[in-house]
Structure 1
Amino acid sequence: MDCQATGNPKTGEALAKWGVMVGNDQANARAGVFAATPGTGGPVTKGVYGAVNANGHGLSVQHGHIEGMGSTTTASAQANLLQSQHTALNATGYHSHSRTHDQFGAGLNMQTSAGHSAALGVNRVPQFDVTTMQATGSANLYTSPSGNLNLSANGNAMRHMSGPRRGKSDFGGGVNLRYNF
């Protein structure tokens, strides 16, 4: 069984999934149903999902429907390009189709055993002639010997290559301090 339920009482955001999984951690297939809402009073998305994974590579498809608004179908893929004891590098791609538009994109992401990560991607919505490129990164600055205290930094940048914001950039960043009691 593949059952999950999560929620945030402050925002009303909730997700419930029920499905089946066959296989093990190295190779498996999953299929099931889900219901999700972005917040209190928000529309409920109901749908189905399926995925196959083997040795860090995967394919998935999801179809969700919001009553009175329409449906969206998304297919995605991931390929593990490098896997070592200290680093993982993955390539991803997706295509999403709804009643009003298509959206697709691809990217690379890397994670290290030291808690650092980086990602680079591009997204395209042809019907609106919108193309964006984004880069994100995070660095683990300090972890206490007990592992209870962690200090990390993150940053992101987005460049609008086409569309109404063509030539504009957005930047962000932050520092996170976490203590587990």
Structure 2
Amino acid sequence: MFSVHLFALALLATAQARYIALQDLKIQPYVIDVANLAQDDFEDALSEHAFESLHPGYLNRVRRQLGSVSTNPDGSANLNLKVPIARGESNVLSAIGSASGIQSANAFRAAGVKPGPGYTAAGGGLALDNINGHGLSVTGQHIPSLGNQATAAGRLGLINTPDHKLGANAFITRTMPNIPNLPNFNTHGGSLDYTFKDKIGGSLGMAHTDLFKKTDYSAMGNLNLFRNPSSSLDLNAGWTKSQSPIPAFNHNWAPQGGLTFTKYF
């Protein structure tokens, strides 16, 4: 029954909203990917003994305790927190928080600019995770140079085994800008993600913002180069494209990628 309800909600909502529409406003927050945390973090919300009895073999995966810190190509950092507040045999309700694009004061001085708030986006919310890879979340965040966003997201775990993971994501984001003459607007979309043995994976995604008549497409791949119980190094690469009748928002396929180092705690 949980899967049926989740599938209906997943058509309306997922946190794959990063860089959507905001690229064209020169704003690039790194939004926490709440839906994908469902698979990675569920085992840490349960005791080791309980999780082994429910899903043996998964404890060999990287364990996230309360959160993680990761780096961006520009030298900034992202902080993600996830704290279980209620749990059952198959579901966990967690409080989540994030701050992305965190810059040090030294980085501002090196760039020759006056220190700002020190981050590109920050927020929090609630996430409901299921042991089979399903998930629901409601989050809000503040972007200093834009305004506020609210996102409802869902994930349906189509395949969830130790070797293969395939998930369908959907999301809807409401952006409430503090920029004069820019109205509130919605962005909705989804993605299909696959991972093999937590080592290599890919994602196909699409998002649409009606205000700009803009549709974003992405085809991304991920390769884990190094992993131990407390850290991970990943190579991300792929292509993105934007279509819009507005010339400034219309971009052909272009490469994107970089290395990400993540520390778990």
Q: TM-score, normalised by structure 2?
A: 0.51
Deviation of 1:111 after TM superposition, in Å, equals: 0.2
| Aligned counterparts, 1:148-159, within 5 A | 155-159=237-241
Candidates 217, 220, 225, aligned match of 1:136:
220
> In 2 relative to 1, CA 82–14 (structure 1 residues): closer, same or farther, beyond 3 Å?
closer
Amino acid at match of 1:36: A
Is 2:104 aligned against 1:28? no
* Change over 3 Å in CA distance of 1:42–1:101 after alignment to 2: farther
How far the C-alpha of 1:75 sits from its partner, in A, is: 0.9
Which amino acid is 2:93 matched to?
Answer: A
The alignment of Structure 1 onto Structure 2 pairs a total of residues equal to 167
Q: Percent identity?
A: 22
Which amino acid in structure 2 is aligned with residue 22 of structure 1?
A
Cross-structure match for 1:161: 243
How far did 1:175 drift? 9.0
After superposition, what is the alpha-carbon deviation per residue over 1:24-78, rounded to whole angstroms, capped at 9, x for unaligned? 684200125x463522434365544101111210000111235795321111111
Aligned to 1:56: 133
Structure 1 Cα separation of the partners of residues 82 and 198 of structure 2: 34
Task: Please show how residues 93-112 of structure 1 align to structure 2 within 5 Å.
Answer: 93-99=170-176, 100-112=184-196
| Structure 2, unaligned runs of 5 or more | 1-44, 46-64, 105-114, 177-183, 227-232, 261-265
Cα offset for 1:98?
Answer: 1.6
In the alignment, which of 134, 146, 151 is matched to residue 74 of structure 1? 151
| 8 Å contact kept, 1:96–1:102 | yes
SS in 2 for 1:127: helix
Going from structure 1 to structure 2, the CA distance change for 1:136 and 1:70 (only over 3 Å counts) comes to: closer
1:126 shift after superposition: 1.1
1:119 is displaced (CA, Å) by 0.6
Task: Find the counterpart in structure 2 of residue 86 from structure 1.
Answer: 163
CA distance in 2, matches of 1:96, 1:64: 11
Cα distance in 1 for partners of 2:69, 2:174 equals 26
Whole-Å separation in 1 of the counterparts to 2:78 and 2:257: 27
TM-superposed deviation, 1:96:
0.9
Unaligned 5+ segments in structure 1 are: 144-150, 177-181
Which secondary structure does the structure 2 equivalent of 1:168 belong to?
strand
Contact 1:131/1:161 (CA < 8 Å) preserved in 2? yes
Q: Is the 8 A contact 1:26 1:56 kept in 2?
A: no
| Alpha-carbon separation, structure 2, partners of 1:170 and 1:25 | 44
One-letter amino acid of the counterpart of residue 241, structure 2: R
The residue type paired with residue 127 of structure 2 is: A
Q: CA deviation at 1:107?
A: 0.6
Larger % of helix: which? 2
How far apart in 1 are the matches of 2:166 and 2:259? 24
Q: Given that residues 240 and 256 in structure 2 are in contact (C-alpha distance below 8 angstroms), is that contact kept between their aligned partners in structure 1?
A: no
Distance 1:69 1:87, change over 3 A: closer
- In structure 2, C-alpha distance between the alignment counterparts of 1:17 and 1:127, rounded to whole Å: 32
Name the amino acid aligned to 1:160.
S
Higher strand share: 1
Return closer, same or farther for 1:35/1:118 CA change in 2, 3 Å cut-off. closer
> d(CA) in 2 for partners of 1:18 and 1:136?
25
The TM-score normalised by the length of structure 1 is 0.70
Query: Deviation of residue 112 (structure 1)?
Result: 0.3
